[in-house]
């Protein structure tokens, strides 16, 4: 699918705009060890990058709803103490955003991070001034990624026919499909195998930021 004519570009945050993976994995490893998991049992911790917390700990490791909530509380207590180094902008994405704006695009961010943490991440990465709207989830219970994408569209006044999603995991592709928009996958942060994005139905996959620019702008 040619997505160049779509005016609204909605980005995921983790692994798409900011290389937060190291901080997420390090924090999760510390907490999961405290809950009895050996490193071998944790396996590839990149699997928790993408799905919302606390559900991620149940989906990936089979924890009960109650223990997943406790793990999330402990995780956030550590993660919230991390500094700006936990939210580095992926090289080239700010320049890409400026190029998209110059071409008349409206730029949004829809993340499964809680709203306050996403806002902090956007500020500390230096990306906030380059985007028109950035929204995270409002609560851990009922708010979902598709709902966040819809709120971005509502905020910008642009509908599914005008929008394209950009994300690094199949969760982004699935969320975009649910709201009726195509999704371009990105693989430059290597948060999953590239086949995951194609299998989920991504209309294209970028291996580098400049390749993403060509997909979105031509």
For the chain, give every domain's residue range: 8-20+87-217, 21-84
As assigned by CATH, the class of the 21-84 domain is: mainly alpha
pLDDT above 80 (res 1): yes
The pLDDT tens digits for 24-64 are 999 999 999 999 999 999 999 989 887 888 989 999 999 99
Residue-level pLDDT at 187? 97
Same fold, 8-20+87-217 and 21-84: no
Residue-level pLDDT at 186? 98
The pLDDT tens digits for 142-195 are 789 999 999 999 999 999 999 999 999 999 999 999 999 999 999 999 999 999
SS3 for the chain, per residue? CCCCCCCEEEECCECCCECCHHHHHHHHHHHHHHCCCCHHHHCCHHHHCCCCCCHHHHHHHCCCHHHHHHHHHHHHHHHCCCCHHHCCECCCHHHHHHHHHHCCCEEEEEEEEEHHHHHHHHHHCCCHHHCCEEEEECCCCCCCHHHHHHHHHHHHCCCHHHEEEEECCHHHHHHHHHHCCCEEEECCCCCCCHHHHHHHCCCEEECCHHHHHHHHHC
CATH assignment, 8-20+87-217: 3.40.50.1000
């Amino acid at each position: 699918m040619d997505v160049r004519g779509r005016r609204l570009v909605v980005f995921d945050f983790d692994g798409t705009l900011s290389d937060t993976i190291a901080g997420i994995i390090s924090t999760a490893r510390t907490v999961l060890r405290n809950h009895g998991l050996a490193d071998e049992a944790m396996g590839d911790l990149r699997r928790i990058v993408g799905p919302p917390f606390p559900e991620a700990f149940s989906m990936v490791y089979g924890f009960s709803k109650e223990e997943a909530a406790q793990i999330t509380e402990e995780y956030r207590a550590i993660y919230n103490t991390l500094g700006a180094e936990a939210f580095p902008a992926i090289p080239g994405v700010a320049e890409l955003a400026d190029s998209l704006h110059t071409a008349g695009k409206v730029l949004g961010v829809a993340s499964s991070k809680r709203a306050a943490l996403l806002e902090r991440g956007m500020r500390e990465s230096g990306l906030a001034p380059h985007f028109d709207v950035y929204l995270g989830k409002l609560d851990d219970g009922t708010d979902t990624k598709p709902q966040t994408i819809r709120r971005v569209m509502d905020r910008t006044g642009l509908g599914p026919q005008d929008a394209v999603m950009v994300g690094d995991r199949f969760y982004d592709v699935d969320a975009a499909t649910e709201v009726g928009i195509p999704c371009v996958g990105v693989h430059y942060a290597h948060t999953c195998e590239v086949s995951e994005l194609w299998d989920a139905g991504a209309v294209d996959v970028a291996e580098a930021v400049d390749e993403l620019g060509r997909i979105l702008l031509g």
